[in-house]
Amino acid sequence: TFGVGNVRAKSIPDNNSAGISSTITIPQSFSLEHVEVIFQATHPYRGDLKIVLTSPSGTQSVLAESHSDSNAD
């Protein structure tokens, strides 16, 4: 088991399709079989958010896709 916490907060730009990215480096070399992500954000329109995990090899897993939800947070 390996945990990463206290990742620095970043502002999510509004009306910017480039968005932001955050890199988490795991210092040990081992194979991952399971990843648990807890994501918390404040944004005027949660439907604007697309959340993607990308592995070092480029494999992407979409955790949340943009949609028409106009509610906050």
Structure confidence by residue, pLDDT tens digits, 12-40: 887 777 888 888 877 777 777 888 888 88
Concatenated DSSP letters of the chain: ------PPP-PPPTT-TT---------S----S----------S-GGG--EEEE-TT--EEEEE---S-----
pTM over 0.85: no
The answer, yes or no, to whether residue 73 has pLDDT greater than 60, is no
pLDDT band of residue 66 (cuts 50, 70, 90) is confident
How far apart CA 62 and CA 52 sit, in angstroms, is 4
Residues 45 and 64: beta-carbon distance below 8 Å: no
pLDDT band of residue 60 (cuts 50, 70, 90) is very high
Instruction: Supply 14's token pair.
Output: 């509004």
